[in-house]
Amino acid sequence: MRVLLFGKVSYYTMDTGSRIKLVREHRGLTQQKLGEMLGYGKSSANRIAQYEMGYRSPKANRLKEIAKAMNIREEIFLMPDETPIDLLRILIWYDWEHEGVLQLATSRTANTPPGKTVSPIIYSEQLPLNRLLLDWADQKHSLSVRKITRADYLEWMLQWPPRLP
């Protein structure tokens, strides 16, 4: 777990091992089963535990294999930060890790509490990027009104972004 300090507030960010554990548990896999899926043999559970605890760091090619075995996008483990989509992915995961810190609204659903300043609304002139922002806002809204479960939302995150037209 990495710690980022902002003034006197520290924010913890989920490291790769914690993400492996989160997805493995979400998929209902034991450490042993995931290790077997990766061909580790007898040391399966031990190797996965080492990844999850941060004692060992899987190389990029191994992270790709882990992502494939658990049917998720490899970017979940290999978070680049070079494009707007990368930045959105970072924000989505930050929001998951720090529930309640980020609030999303569309211009038609924005509701600023009395006495508060108007919150900024992020939008893009690039239609595909704007669709991704709206999709995220819709998913968060569905979660907040219990139209979907946290497990459904996590699954959406693991498959995000959808293939763009």
Domain final position from 50, 76, 102: 76
In this predicted structure, what is the pLDDT of residue 6?
A: 37
Neighbouring-strand partners of residue 13: 2
Identify which has the larger pLDDT, 43 or 59. Answer: 59
**CATH number reported for the structural domain that contains residue 11 in this entry:** 1.10.260.40
**How far, in Å, CA of 127 to CA of 102, rounded?**
23
Residues 92 and 151 in one domain: yes
- Structural domain boundaries, residue 127: 84-159
Residues 153 and 94 in one domain: yes
- Residue 160: which of 133, 142, 141, 127 has the closest Cα? 133
Neighbouring-strand partners of residue 6: 9
Q: For the whole model, what pTM was predicted?
A: 0.67
Q: Which helix H or strand E contains 130, and what residues bound it?
A: helix 127-144
State pLDDT tens for residues 131-143: 888 889 889 989 9
Contact between 76 and 58 under an 8 Å Cβ cutoff? The reply is: no
In this predicted structure, what is the pLDDT of residue 84?
A: 84
Helix (H, G, I), strand (E, B) or coil at 12: strand
Contact between 48 and 34 under an 8 Å Cβ cutoff? The reply is: yes
Name the burial class of residue 50, with classes exposed (0-12), middle (13-18) and buried (19+) by CB atoms within 10 angstroms of its CB. Answer: middle
pLDDT band per the 50, 70, 90 thresholds, residue 117: low
Tokens for 58, please give them: 């899987």
State pLDDT tens for residues 60-105: 999 999 999 999 988 888 877 678 888 888 889 989 988 878 877 6
In this predicted structure, what is the pLDDT of residue 21?
A: 96
In this predicted structure, what is the pLDDT of residue 115?
A: 56
pLDDT band per the 50, 70, 90 thresholds, residue 43: confident
Residues 57 and 117 in one domain: no
Q: Give CA 12 to chain center in angstroms.
A: 14
Tokens 């979660």: give the residue.
143
Tokens for 76, please give them: 């979940």
Residues 69 and 90 in one domain: no
Number of domains in the chain: 2
